[in-house]
Chains A and B, each alone.
Chain A
Amino acid sequence: MTLMPSCLEASRLLSRALDEPLGLLDQALLRVHLSMCRRCTEVERQLGSLGNLTRDVFEDDDLDDPVAAAASRPKPSSPDGA
């Protein structure tokens, strides 16, 4: 099982998957790791929301209007690698 990524390696793959498509092997290794690791599963959620939070800060969405805030929040071009 030397192929199995550690949490550190999984975190690199999680970050990379937010920016570009992962190769099939990396995707598979990451999925297996996540299926066995609750911490990395939570980190996956957190890393995803960092981008949304940052865009909120920069796009100056209206905090009092969640509908408008969600509608005006663009996803950066990111192929679905996760």
Chain B
Amino acid sequence: MQQPMPVPAHRLAESAPEIGGDIDVLRDRLLRHARQALPDAATAEDLVQDTLVDVLEGAARHRGEASLRTWATAILKHKVADWYRSPARRHRVSLEAEDERLAQAVEGDFDEAGAWRGAIPTWQQPEQAEERRQMRGAIEACLDRLPLQTGRVFVLREWLGFGTDEIGSRLGLSADNVRQILHRARMALRGCMQQRWAGPRAPS
């Protein structure tokens, strides 16, 4: 196994002085995204490494239309999509016990007749930057709490924009399976956001 060459922080600092020492912050941010989208940590590390090399090589040409972080994230997104679309690879997922527990939790939201057990408080729309930051913090925490496989399927759908059929064919799942996983993911995220965002702020 060939070790990937780490991107030296000082080289990035030279060609992209505006991020300079923030390379570690950027790497951590990209790794967080990559791990949520990919099946294993080693692949996530590889693609983030490739992304940082591209950022390093392109940084001199990159001038401000988007923040460097936004730009780096877009590069990573393409690499993740390419990785999934590579015909040489198969990426089967198996639904683990935790995903099954999530299914039971979701069914617990409904009574025997399939009606909502509890009230559905309205989510307050964030007005100020600080409120938007808080709401984003809430969704990040809720995404982190999703079971791994469920989270990956949701991220493939919402970040990479893969459709139901494409997710199914890339992961070896039936379309009905994918629909079920996306439904559970959304129900779990909704319930989590109700606790972390709507609940404490609901008027009654």
List residues of A whose CB falls within 8 A of some B CB. Answer: 6-9, 11-12, 15-16, 18-20, 38-40, 42-43, 45-47, 49-51, 53-64, 66, 72, 74, 76-78
Distance between Cα atoms of A59 and B78 in the complex (Å) = 12
Decide yes or no: A58 and B33 within 8 Å by CB, A53-B135, A74-B161 being known contacts: yes
Inter-subunit contact B183/A54 (CB<8 Å): no
Report B165-182 residues with CB < 8 Å from chain A CB: 179, 182
Nearest CB of chain A from residue B9's CB, rounded to whole Å: 20
List residues of B whose CB falls within 8 A of some A CB. Answer: 29, 33, 66-67, 69-70, 73-74, 77, 107, 110, 113-116, 119-120, 122-123, 129, 132-133, 135-136, 139-140, 143, 154-155, 157-159, 161, 163-164, 179, 182-183, 186-187, 189-190, 193
Decide yes or no: A53 and B110 within 8 Å by CB, A19-B179, A46-B193, A63-B132 being known contacts: no
Decide yes or no: A76 and B132 within 8 Å by CB, A39-B116, A62-B67 being known contacts: no
Chain A residues with CB below 8 A from B116, complex form: 7, 39-40
Inter-subunit contact B140/A46 (CB<8 Å): no
Question: Which interface residue of A45, A58, A61 has the most chain B CB atoms within 10 A?
Answer: A58
Inter-subunit contact B70/A43 (CB<8 Å): no
Inter-subunit contact A63/B158 (CB<8 Å): no
Inter-subunit contact A42/B163 (CB<8 Å): no
Inter-subunit contact B154/A54 (CB<8 Å): yes
Nearest CB of chain B from residue A64's CB, rounded to whole Å: 5
Question: Which interface residue of B113, B115, B119 has the most chain A CB atoms within 10 A?
Answer: B115
Decide yes or no: A50 and B70 within 8 Å by CB, A55-B159, A58-B159 being known contacts: no
Question: Which interface residue of A9, A43, A45, A46 has the most chain B CB atoms within 10 A?
Answer: A46
Inter-subunit contact A50/B139 (CB<8 Å): yes
Distance between Cα atoms of A38 and B107 in the complex (Å) = 20
Inter-subunit contact A57/B164 (CB<8 Å): no
Chain B residues with CB below 8 A from A66, complex form: 129, 132
Chain A residues with CB below 8 A from B29, complex form: 60
Question: Which interface residue of B29, B110, B122, B158 has the most chain A CB atoms within 10 A?
Answer: B158
Chain A residues with CB below 8 A from B69, complex form: 60
Inter-subunit contact A20/B120 (CB<8 Å): no
Inter-subunit contact A77/B143 (CB<8 Å): no
Inter-subunit contact A15/B159 (CB<8 Å): no
In the assembled complex, 10 residue pairs joining A and B whose CB atoms fall closer than 8 Å, in A order, are A8-B110, A12-B179, A15-B182, A15-B186, A19-B157, A56-B139, A58-B159, A59-B74, A60-B70, A61-B70
Distance between Cα atoms of A47 and B135 in the complex (Å) = 15
Distance between Cα atoms of A56 and B113 in the complex (Å) = 36
